[in-house]
């Protein structure tokens, strides 16, 4: 966030990445509705609403890309940088023991530092 010298470039970069992400979420919702039509759905709505939402998100992303392609390219690079993180920390199933221990150590320290999980008195951190 400190790289762009202009706040409008930062807003364009983050706005493009955000609209693209929202569009992918809407497409994922439509995909699940198509592939698993029998799943229980707590909220039922007309299928036109997510389709319109996806179209509007894609319109906003395309409009941002046309107006500032360099900043949007940086936003795409930032989005694609999450693929290796997902592959290493989520998708990789047979992680070595040292990696799991390191991951647990970092997770517990971040939880304590950021105060996102109440500390359990029975767990002793080394």
pLDDT digits (tens, 9 = 90+) for 13-64: 788 888 988 999 999 989 988 898 888 888 888 889 999 999 999 999 898 8
CA distance 52 to 50: 5
**Helices and strands, number each (H, E), in the chain:** 5, 0
* Domain-wise residue ranges, the chain: 7-80
Determine if the pTM surpasses 0.75: no
Asked if the model's pLDDT at residue 112 lies above 80, the reply is yes
pLDDT of residue 78: 82
Side-chain-facing half-sphere of 110: CA atoms under 13 Å: 6
Backbone angles phi, psi at 102, to 5 degrees: -65, -40
């Amino acid at each position: 966030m400190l790289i762009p010298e202009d706040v409008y470039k930062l807003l364009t970069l983050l706005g493009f990445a955000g609209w693209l992400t929202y569009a992918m979420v809407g497409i994922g919702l439509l995909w699940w509705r198509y592939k698993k039509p029998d799943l229980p759905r707590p909220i039922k709505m007309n299928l036109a609403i997510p389709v319109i939402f996806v179209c509007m998100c894609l319109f906003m992303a395309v409009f941002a890309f046309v107006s500032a392609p360099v900043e949007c390219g940086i936003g795409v690079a930032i989005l694609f940088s999450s693929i290796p993180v997902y592959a290493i920390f989520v998708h990789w199933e047979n992680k070595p023991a040292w990696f799991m221990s390191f991951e647990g150590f970092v997770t517990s320290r971040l939880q304590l530092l950021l105060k996102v999980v109440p500390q359990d008195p029975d767990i002793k951190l080394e």
